[in-house]
C-alpha cells in the first residue's frame, strides 16, 4: 500500500487526502455541537495556516511551538508546520510559567501557535505572563481571545501550493520531556524516527483501516503523538474530547477500537466500576454462567470500551492486579515500553502473551540488553538524533556502540520479554545502609480509592508509603468512622505487602496525603506519573506528626 512506502508522515497525509478526500479524519466536540473534518478540509485549512506561517518570513526549519489541549486543530497545525517546512515543538498546557519560558527560550522558538485553552484546567494565565516579548502568536479555534493573529485572519490566506517535501532524515520535531527527572530536555527526532513505531505496529498487533481512536492524553507527549502518527499513517479516524466533564459522552461517541491510557486512568476507570458495583458483588455475578457475560459486556459498554480490540497502557508500570481485573472483563490490556528518546519504539506485548509485570518483547529492528549495573540499554530505529543544544547530555545518553542508556533497571527472560524493576535514580538507601527499589513496592500496594503511591525513605529507619486518595475517598475522611475504616484497610494492606518484601524493604509507615498531586503543582507529570523529586522535596524530611493537617498517620512501628 502507498502508506507503507511513504518516507514521512506528511507524505502519508497527502496520500489519504488524495485517495479519500471526503472521508472523515477528525471529529471535534464543542459546546455548540460536534464538527467532522474530512481529509480534504484538513488539507485546505493546514495549507492556509502553512501559508500564514510562511508569510512571517521565518527561515526554513524554524522552530514553531504548539501549545494547547488535544483538538482537531492541534493536528491541523502539526500538519501545517510540516507543510511550511518548519520544525514543531509541542508544549504541555499544564506546565508552569517558568517551565514554559525555559522551553520556549531553550528551543529558540520563532513562533507560538496557541490552541484549545480555557485558563482553568490548564495553566494559560501563568504561561501568558511568561511568554518571551515580541514572540509572534497565532490563534487556532478555541484559543484565548487575546492570543495574537486570529483564525479568521489565518483562513484569509490562500492555500499554500508549494508544500514542503521533507526527507526521512530531516528534523521533524523537538519533543520536550515531561520533567519527571529534572529540567525538560529537548529530544530531536527525524521524520524517520517518528515513522518507525508505525512500521513496527504493522508486524506486531496490526492496525485496521476501520480503527477509531480517541485522543485525550497530552499530544505534547510521544505516547499520544504516536497515536496521531497512527492516524496519519494508516488513514484512521480520530475523535477528541470536549472536557473531563464530557468524557463519558465523548468516548461513547467515538467507541474506540484502539485505546491507549496510563495506569492512573486505568485505575480510575476501575474505581468508578467498583463504586457502582462493589468487588464482592462483582465476584458473585461473574461466577454465574450467562449472567457473567452480560454483566461484563455492560460494564465495558458503560466505560465506552466495548468495541476496543487493542487496549494498551504506557508511560509508567501498571499493576498486575489491574491487568487481571480487565482480563476478567474480557479486555486484554497490553503493556508497552518506550521513551521520548526512541519515540516509543522499543517493546510491546502481543495478544495472547500477556504476563503481568512484563512489557513484552522488542519490536522488529530493536535490540535490547542489560548492562552490568542492571540498566536497560536499547537501540531502536526510533532513536533520537540528539538532545537539542545538549551535546554532553547526548554523549552521556549513548553507549559507544549506539545503545540508548534508558535510566531504567530491568531483566530480560529467555524469550526476550522485558520486566522493568525501576529507575536507576529512584533507588534509595535507608538508615540501615540497604538499598530499596520503590517501584515494585508501589505496584504491590492495591487499595480501593487510592490513585497514586510513592514509596520513599532515604536516610529513614524504614521506607514509607505516601498514598494519594481520590477526591471521593478524600471527602470520606471527614467522617471519623470512615476514617477509621480506611486506616484499618491500609494497615491490613501494608501487613500483607510487607510479608512479600525483604526485611530492609518493609514499610514502616503509610501516609494518606490530604493534599492534591497535579501537573499544576509539579507533583505529577502531564501524563500523570509521580514526580519523585518533587514529592521527596515536599515530604521527604517530614516527621508526620498526627497533628499535621496535610496527612493522616496510619499505623506502622517505625517512626523517625
Gap between the Cα atoms of 86 and 108, Å rounded: 13
- Given the C-alpha cell 506519573, which residue does it identify? 529
- Given the C-alpha cell 518484601, which residue does it identify? 501
Where b means 16+ CB within 10 Å and e means fewer, 461-495 reads ebbbbbbbbbeebbeeeeeeeeeeebbeebeebbe
> Quick one: CA dihedral 76, 81, 85, 89, positive or negative?
negative
For residue 193, is pLDDT > 80?
A: yes
Displacement of CA 82 from its chain's centroid (Å): 23
Gap between the Cα atoms of 41 and 52, Å rounded: 17
Report the chain's mean pLDDT, rounded to a whole number: 91
Largest CA distance in the chain: 72
Gap between the Cα atoms of 104 and 101, Å rounded: 5
State in words which class domain 35-192+218-227 has. Answer: alpha beta
Q: Given this model, what pLDDT does residue 1 score?
A: 39
| Residue with more model confidence, 117 or 529 | 117
| Strand pairing class (509-513; 464-469) | parallel
Specify the domain boundaries for CATH 3.40.50.12780 within the chain.
257-424
CA atoms within 13 A on the CB side of 343: 32
Interacting residues of 399 by C-beta distance below 8 A, sequence separation 6+:
377, 405
450-472 tens-digit pLDDT: 989 999 998 888 899 999 998 88
For residue 4, is pLDDT > 70?
A: no
Q: What percent of the chain has pLDDT over 90?
A: 69
Gap between the Cα atoms of 42 and 45, Å rounded: 5
Superfamily of domain 257-424: ANL, N-terminal domain (3.40.50.12780)
Specify the domain boundaries for CATH 3.40.50.980 within the chain.
35-192+218-227
For residue 180, is pLDDT > 70?
A: no
Least confident window among 15-19, 138-142, 309-313, 316-320? 316-320
φ, ψ of residue 237 to 5 degrees: the values are -100, 125
- Of 436, 427, 425, nearest in space to 504 by CA: 436
Gap between the Cα atoms of 411 and 357, Å rounded: 11
Indicate the angle between helix axes 320-329 and 263-276, nearest 10 degrees: 50
Q: Place 433 in a pLDDT band, splitting at 50, 70 and 90.
A: confident
Segment 255-281 shows an average pLDDT of 93
For 427-554, CATH number out of 1.10.3720.10, 3.20.20.150, 3.30.300.30, 3.30.470.20 equals: 3.30.300.30
199-219 tens-digit pLDDT: 999 877 689 999 999 999 999
322-365 tens-digit pLDDT: 999 999 999 999 999 999 999 999 999 988 888 888 999 999 99
509-528 tens-digit pLDDT: 899 898 889 888 888 888 88
Per the CB < 8 A criterion, the answer to whether 12 and 3 are in contact is yes
Amino acid at each position: 500500500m502507498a502508506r507503507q512506502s511513504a518516507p514521512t508522515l506528511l507524505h502519508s497525509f497527502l496520500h489519504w487526502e488524495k485517495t479519500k478526500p471526503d472521508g472523515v479524519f477528525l471529529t471535534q466536540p464543542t459546546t455548540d455541537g460536534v464538527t467532522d473534518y474530512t481529509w480534504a478540509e484538513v488539507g485546505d485549512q493546514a495549507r492556509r495556516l502553512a501559508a500564514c506561517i510562511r508569510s512571517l518570513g521565518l527561515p526554513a526549519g524554524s522552530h514553531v511551538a504548539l501549545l494547547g489541549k488535544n483538538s482537531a486543530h492541534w493536528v491541523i497545525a502539526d500538519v501545517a508546520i510540516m507543510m511550511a517546512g518548519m520544525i514543531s515543538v509541542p508544549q504541555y498546557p499544564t506546565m508552569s510559567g517558568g517551565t514554559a519560558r525555559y522551553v520556549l527560550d531553550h528551543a529558540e522558538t520563532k513562533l507560538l501557535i496557541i490552541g484549545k485553552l480555557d485558563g482553568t484546567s490548564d495553566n494559560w494565565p501563568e504561561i501568558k505572563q511568561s511568554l518571551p516579548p515580541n514572540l509572534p502568536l497565532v490563534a487556532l479555534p478555541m484559543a484565548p481571545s487575546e492570543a495574537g493573529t486570529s483564525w479568521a485572519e489565518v483562513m484569509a490566506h490562500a492555500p499554500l501550493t508549494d508544500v514542503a517535501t521533507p526527507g526521512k532524515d530531516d528534523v521533524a520535531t523537538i519533543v520536550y520531556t515531561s520533567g519527571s527527572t529534572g529540567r525538560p530536555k529537548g529530544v530531536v527526532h527525524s521524520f524517520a524516527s517518528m515513522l518507525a513505531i508505525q512500521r513496527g505496529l504493522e508486524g506486531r498487533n496490526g492496525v485496521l483501516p476501520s480503527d477509531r481512536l480517541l485522543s485525550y492524553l497530552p499530544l505534547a507527549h510521544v505516547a499520544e503523538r504516536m497515536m496521531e502518527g497512527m492516524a496519519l499513517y494508516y488513514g484512521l479516524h480520530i475523535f477528541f474530547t470536549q472536557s473531563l466533564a464530557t468524557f463519558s459522552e465523548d468516548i461513547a461517541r467515538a467507541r474506540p477500537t484502539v485505546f491507549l491510557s496510563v495506569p492512573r486512568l486505568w485505575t480510575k476507570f476501575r474505581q468508578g466500576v467498583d463504586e457502582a458495583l462493589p468487588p464482592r458483588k462483582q465476584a458473585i455475578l461473574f461466577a454465574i454462567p450467562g449472567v457473567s457475560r452480560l454483566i461484563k459486556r455492560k460494564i465495558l459498554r458503560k466505560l465506552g470500551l466495548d468495541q476496543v480490540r487493542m487496549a494498551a497502557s504506557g508511560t509508567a508500570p501498571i499493576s498486575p492486579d489491574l491487568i487481571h481485573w480487565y482480563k476478567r472483563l474480557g479486555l486484554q490490556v497490553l503493556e508497552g515500553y518506550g521513551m521520548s528518546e526512541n519515540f516509543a519504539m522499543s517493546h510491546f506485548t502481543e495478544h495472547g502473551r500477556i504476563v503481568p509485570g512484563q512489557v513484552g518483547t522488542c519490536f522488529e529492528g530493536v535490540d535490547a540488553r542489560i548492562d552490568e549495573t542492571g540498566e536497560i540499554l536499547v537501540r531502536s530505529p526510533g532513536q533520537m538524533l540528539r538532545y537539542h543544544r545538549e551535546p554532553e547530555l547526548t554523549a552521556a545518553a549513548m553507549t559507544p556502540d549506539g545503545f540508548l542508556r534508558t535510566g531504567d533497571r530491568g531483566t530480560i527472560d529467555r524469550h526476550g520479554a522485558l520486566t522493568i524493576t525501576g529507575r536507576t535514580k529512584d533507588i534509595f538507601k535507608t538508615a540501615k545502609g540497604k538499598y530499596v527499589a520503590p517501584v515494585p513496592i508501589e505496584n504491590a500496594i492495591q487499595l480501593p480509592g487510592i490513585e497514586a503511591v510513592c514509596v520513599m525513605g532515604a536516610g529513614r529507619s524504614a521506607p514509607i508509603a505516601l498514598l494519594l486518595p481520590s477526591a471521593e475517598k478524600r471527602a470520606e475522611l471527614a467522617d471519623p468512622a470512615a476514617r477509621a475504616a480506611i486506616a484499618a484497610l491500609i494497615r491490613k494492606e501494608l501487613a500483607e505487602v510487607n510479608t512479600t518484601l525483604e526485611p530492609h524493604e518493609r514499610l514502616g509507615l503509610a501516609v494518606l496525603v490530604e493534599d492534591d498531586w497535579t501537573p499544576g503543582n509539579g507533583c505529577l507529570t502531564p501524563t500523570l506519573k509521580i514526580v519523585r523529586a518533587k514529592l521527596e522535596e515536599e515530604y521527604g524530611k517530614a516527621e508526620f506528626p498526627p497533628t499535621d493537617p496535610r496527612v493522616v498517620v496510619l499505623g506502622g512501628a517505625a517512626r523517625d
